[in-house]
Structure 1
Amino acid sequence: MSQKRDEPGGGKGVKSKGRLTDAEAVEQEIERRVRERTQELTDARDALEKRLAAHEAVAQALRESEARYRLLAEHASDMISRHGPDGSYRYVSPSCLPMLGYKPEELLGKSAFAGVHPDDEPILREVRQQLQDTGIGGPAVFRKRRRDGSYIWAEVTGRAVNDPATGAVTELIAVTRDITERRRAEQQLRLIESAVKQADEAVLITDAQLERPGPRIEYANPAFERMTGYTSEEVIGKTPRMLQGSRTSRAVLDQLRTQLSQGKPFQGETFNYRKDGGEYVLSWHIGPVRDEHGRITHWVSIQRDITAQKQAEQLARQRQAELIHVSRLSTMGELASELAHELNQPLAAISSYVQGALNRIGDTPLDPEASRDLLGRVAAQADRASQIIRRLRRFVRKREPQRTLVDVNELIRGAIELIEPELRHQSVQIDLALMDNLPQIAADPVQIEQVLLNLMRNAMEAMDRTPTPERKLCLASEVIDDAHVQISVRDNGYGIPKHQLDHIFEPFFTTKQRGMGMGLPISHSIAEAHGGRIEAHPLTTGGMDFRLILPTEGNDVD
């Protein structure tokens, strides 16, 4: 039997027109699934590439972050360190070398507690506990020992790194700063603040403003509160003008403003007023506070209430004036007999001339020319007596010291006139060596005459054992520098022993048998009150040279 040949489109496995065979359907299904799987693999590949790219970006960011961290850590002045939970060093930045004297590798594995001052160990234990409890510790200040054994003051802050799964602390990160200089500055500042608060002098700090209404007060210490009655809260933000009143010196304030506007310190005195209106004498010194660029940022005023001091000085001046006056009276008392004789001469002459005129009147009428001559002699002697009395009255009169511009040589000649009777009585020769054209001095002429009289009388008494022909008193005047003149009183008496020279200006010390020891101390105080001094120099030929040195006009000290 012969088989039939399959015809297209006929028989099993043969698709009819427009329909797929089973094989073709399977093939298409396989192709579809292959395409889907390929697409899935492509998508997976793309996703993997994206994830790889993202991971690479993160890794790059981590590398850059780590590089920045290392750059920061290795160049930071603060010491950055990582520690295990027990505090041992895992990493230390290079700044540990200048800070502690150790290289980083020398600290690895060692405890951060090593080298901490024993008194400060509880501080670090507290920081460690804070890290365990809150993850943040510090800032805390403690002392850390350097390699050389010295200690620095350090300030530390820290953070804990925790395990994400368990929360346990896996690492500690710390930043340590050397604050030794800051600590020293803070201690110094506290010391200064304490000293200012406890100072007896009032301290006022203002800003640098000088234009009206003037500088504003920023600080006032307790002494200022005690002195003025104002609390610091009442004066902060106000100007010191609130303390001024009717008797505050305008001239002093103008000088103050001029000095401060030039950046110079100022020192002066004036009247100020307390909160209750009470007046007091203020002495104050004001100086500038400058920043690192030299700019004035503030003014510091140190103030003192010197009312009691001024009253004491006034009383002392009154007592000294009384003592000086008593000394002049004593001097005149000692010169009384010679002065009486000096005054008696013109009075006796006047009496003689008047008696002669009366006698002539009794005989014949007086000739006008003769009468004029006789009356002229009477007038001259009366004027001589009047001058003696005026000098005596001027010398012994009690009065306040009065300084005027005087000629030094005139003072010397005036003192010689007062003592001239005693000079004649003691047979003492006067030798003058006065420089011409001496600058004037601002002085109380009566007091300077008193000093010269004391020195001359001491010189005469020192020559009481000197042979009469050899008694010589030398007075000289000269300029010794641009600001001083000198009056020298030299004698050729027995002098003063060397061991007594240091005591001759002490009150009640005397080398005389009947002296009270007040002449030289009073003379010395008068010289000092005039801004001068008295020096005593032994002469090689015997005798003494006492030198009164006084400032010239414009150089005197009030």
Structure 2
Amino acid sequence: MCYRAVFRAVPEPVLVADNSGLIVDANPAAHDLYGFGDGGMQGVSLAELFAWTPHTFGGRPDRLAAGPHRSRDGRRFIGEAVLSYIERPPGMLVILVIRNVTETLEAQSRLEEAEERWRFALDGAGDGVWDWSLESGEIEVSSSFRALIGWPDAVRLRRGDIWPGRLHPDDVRGAMAAFAAHLAGARPITEAEFRLRLEDASYRWVALRGRVMERDAAGLPRRMIGTVRDVHERYLGAEREKHQQQELERAARLIHVGEMASSLAHELNQPLTALRNFSAVALRRLDEVGPLDERLREPLKMIAEQALRAGAIVNQVRSFACKGGGQAGAVALNEVVRGVLRFMEFETRAHAVQCVLELDEALPAVQADQVQMEQVVSNLIKNGIDAMRSVPSERVLRIRSRRLPDATVEVAVSDSGEGLADAVRADPFAPFATTKPDGVGLGLAICRSIVENHGGRLWVDSSSAAGTCFCFSLPVARV
């Protein structure tokens, strides 16, 4: 009597059948499920309800997979069963607990269809889709995601294959913090932008969004779904705009420098002219008093020569600032090098610099402006001397000239300093880029402009802890 009460009270449909598949008992829930009303299921074969055969209970399975079931009125539904067995004479009894899973499977099917449509829509929009199982660590990605990173279709992805394994080292902390904040419930969604490494080892900027879609009974995240969008071009555009803005600012500063140079050139011309005239007067008066020691006459001549040269340079700066002009002619670069070194002899001695010349004596002339070439060579030599100020060992400045096969002449100025500083290594010729405490960072920029205006080029041939080598080349003068 107690067994019958419990049997009837069980809310799940329960069938009791013998080994031949005939129902010997059924509770009210089973009668309702199969449409038999209050009774009448005894003696009914299980084969009338679902796909039962004499081999169904062979091996005593503990579960029957979901499959089609039919009720007495022809209605069909999807059911699954949990089985247990009782040994009673004259044979075995099977207890089947039936579960109607039609709505569950339909809901799952609708979810899968909606998810498939969602994936299709996102693929069409160009977004990559990822589905991350946090339990196994495996990540399923859409074809567009695989195409973005160049990952083969046949290879499965795990968590480490993408994040953090493919993130740029500078972006790992921020991206993983965004994941952690969402998984901990601090943020409703994961959003991050980072550089993702592709199969060819290059990086592209992507924007990631993701959300936890499933949690276990304890509330821990089990599954996360999200998208990845390629935003590399947007970042490149922003970098281009930033670079253009910097170039505009530099151009504006150069305009002001040009105006200042023109004004300074005008103001300096008068004292330089006076210096040249006074030195000439001193030399004439020395001639009047008779022969004197050449040690006095030679410095006065050099003062006059340097005043002339300084005046020429000032005029060139003024001309360059106003209209970029210059007077080109056949220039012997070897003589330019020797002349500049002669006038910088005091500075090389003061800094204990040994100058080594490796000049090609058969070097042809170049078509250039004499004063501007002196400006370029003196700037490179001055930079080489400055680069060796902190070198405790031997300080060697090596200057080489040679003719190249492409009808150009090359001059190389090498120092034995410590190499270019990190602050200027990326672009030593950028305006206002300098590490000198008293420098303005325009020397190399102006030198490059002068060389390029003459149809040549100026570059850094090498830079290491053993020193730096600057080179420039110019076309050979036409005969």
- Asked if TM exceeds 0.5, the reply is no
Higher Rg: 1
Is the strand fraction higher in 1 or 2?
A: 2
Normalized against structure 2, the TM-score is what?
0.38
Higher relative contact order (CA 8 A, sep 6+): 2
Normalized against structure 1, the TM-score is what?
0.33
